[in-house]
Amino acid sequence: MDETREELDRTLARLEAVWDDIGLNEEQRKERRHHFNGHIVNLCEKIIDDETALKTRITNNIERNTQEILKLSEGLGIVPEDAVDGMTLLELDTLLQERVDHLLQLKEQRMDTLRLLQEKDEGICELLCETPYYIPAGLIPSLEDIKSVEDHVKTMETEKEEREKNFRSLKAGILKFLELLEQPPEDSFCQDIICSEDDDFPLGKAYLQQMRGVHSDLEFRVHENEVKSLELREKINWLWIALEIPVEEQQAFLSTAPKHTPSNIAKLEEELERLRLLRLQNLSVFIEKLQEELATSWEKCYVGEEERKKFLDQQPDDASEEVLDAYEKEVHKWKQHYEANKDIYILASQFMDLYNHMLELEERAKDPSRLFNTRGGALLLEEKAKKKVRTELPRVQESLLESGRVWAEQEGRSFHINGVPLEDYIRVLWENYDVKKEAEKNKRQVKGAQEVKRPGLHNPKTPAALTNTKKRCREGEDTASTKKMKPGVSLFKSPSKSTLRSPTKTPRTRPLTERNALLCPPPISSSDTSLHSTISYDKFEDNLRSSRECLNSTTLDQASSEAERSFL
């Protein structure tokens, strides 16, 4: 202020000097001083107005920047910074402006990031025929929005990679199938698949599903050709063997048709037709081969005699193409039946092998001479074989019966062996076994009674006393060696009722008269190892309906007479 006052004083002094030079009187000078003061006042007022306006602008800027900061902070999802106390308006205005600029820069960065992500998302979604991630326009994206778009882009990229992989796989498969089918693309869609670049073809779910449909159709047709080709090759191979075609000729033909393509199938059909013409010239030979093959299939499937006879009775004696076709169909039918039920038939074969092995071991145990031929550990091997049979036979039978029950539930009918339901077959098999063992027991008892009645056997000599090195046995007890050497004694007990026998099995303790309702089968040779040789449909029918061969006193008398003659 002092400087201003001094400046005004100097100005007035200069004016006074000028006025002195002009010669103005006091009145004039007074008037000019008044004008000077007026100018000074006006200038000061103008300056004050300007400064007041500046203050107002600064205040307005502060207010506007404050609102902008609040708005940007809300849009950006951040908390605005607190104001700093003790600052002038200019300092506050500068600080707020800096904050606004920073928030605007942050907003621009987010908008740029969102724009780039949306462009990428839209491009991928357009290729995948999917909807892009939606964010309303004009809004400042939050960090969560940016993260959501980034996640969506990553998901779409992963989906794109997976679909591209599926597309390439389907395309390669379609190309391969078209090559195997020896045909061009059938329609425009298939043409687009083959001709388009991998990056240009749409990867929408509908397109891929349509591709899968085309792929499946072509694959099915290729599989049909493969099945047809294999069937033709099997028939051709069978005819080659039957016609005794040289191997060199066979290999030469196969080299011309190594694949399952239509052209190769046509060659196979031509070869089959040629072989069929040759077959017609040798019908009787082919029918004989089919009869042998059919007999083998019947044996494997345990077909009953009645069903076999029914088919054979339908075939005339003369060789003809109709007879040949009938045998071919029958062989094919039983082959398919065996393959469909292979597990059950394998169990049945295992069961009968074990059962017949058990009979063989029992027959072998009746021969006392085996006790003197023990080289190579024969008795030890025999004992191991018995143990194996005792362990495996119940297990295999249970598995066989369970498989038969499952099959019956699925098919709605019983599984048959030799024309008899499986459970009945096994039940009667064991009943016949019990009857046979009972007959052998009665035979031994009759033989023993007859030997006791013979002269010279009532007063046997007292046996020599045992040496001190021998361990004495109590009265009525046999030594282990004596037990082993008893001929005719079964080495196998009848299988456990709970394990092997049917719940309806007649107990072994029933009277002999009750057993006469069942047929006593002839002794089973140890050499008979097949299921059919052990028991057949006719034998089952006899067991169930005939009583002509039942055990009676006459049978026992005959057995006793034969035993006595053999003994003498």
Q: Residue 373's pLDDT is what?
A: 67
Q: Residue 495's pLDDT is what?
A: 43
> Please, are residues 327 and 294 in contact by the beta-carbon 8 Å criterion?
yes
Q: Residue 340's pLDDT is what?
A: 92
Task: State the alpha helices, DSSP H only, in 305-377.
Answer: 305-313, 321-340, 342-365
> Please, are residues 537 and 305 in contact by the beta-carbon 8 Å criterion?
yes
pLDDT digits (tens, 9 = 90+) for 407-438: 999 999 999 999 899 999 999 999 999 999 89
pLDDT digits (tens, 9 = 90+) for 482-534: 333 333 334 344 444 434 444 334 444 444 334 333 333 344 333 343 444 44
Cα end-to-end distance, the chain, whole Å: 168
Query: What percent of the residues of the chain are helix, what percent strand, and what percent coil, each to the nearest 5?
Result: 70, 0, 30
* Cα gap 123→128, rounded to integer Å: 9
Alpha carbon dihedral 422, 426, 429, 433, in 10-degree steps, equals: 180
> What are the pLDDT tens digits along the chain (568 aa)?
778 888 888 888 888 899 888 888 888 888 888 998 899 899 989 999 999 999 999 999 999 999 998 888 888 888 888 777 778 888 888 999 999 999 999 989 989 999 999 999 888 898 888 888 888 877 888 888 889 999 999 999 999 899 889 988 998 999 999 999 888 887 888 888 777 776 677 788 888 898 899 999 999 999 999 999 999 999 999 889 888 889 999 999 999 999 899 999 999 999 999 998 888 888 888 888 889 999 999 999 999 999 999 999 888 888 888 888 899 899 999 999 999 999 999 999 999 999 999 999 888 888 777 777 666 677 888 888 889 889 999 999 999 999 999 999 999 999 999 989 999 999 999 999 999 989 988 988 888 888 776 655 444 444 444 444 433 333 334 443 333 333 333 434 444 443 444 433 444 444 433 433 333 334 433 334 344 444 444 444 444 444 334 333 333 334 334 433 333 2
- Taking CA atoms, 527 is separated from 323, 442, 512, 539, in Å, by 35, 25, 29, 18
Angle, helix 143-181 to helix 205-243, in steps of 10 degrees: 30
Q: Which 3-state string (H, E, C) describes 54-72?
A: HHHHHHHHHHHHHHHHHHH
> Please, are residues 211 and 173 in contact by the beta-carbon 8 Å criterion?
no
Contacts by 259-262, CB closer than 8 A, 24 or more apart: 259/180, 259/229, 260/180, 260/222, 260/225, 260/226, 260/228, 260/229, 260/230, 261/180, 261/181, 261/182, 261/225, 262/181, 262/182, 262/225
Q: Residue 375's pLDDT is what?
A: 66
Q: Residue 221's pLDDT is what?
A: 93
Q: Residue 136's pLDDT is what?
A: 82
Task: State the alpha helices, DSSP H only, in 182-261.
Answer: 188-195, 205-243, 247-256
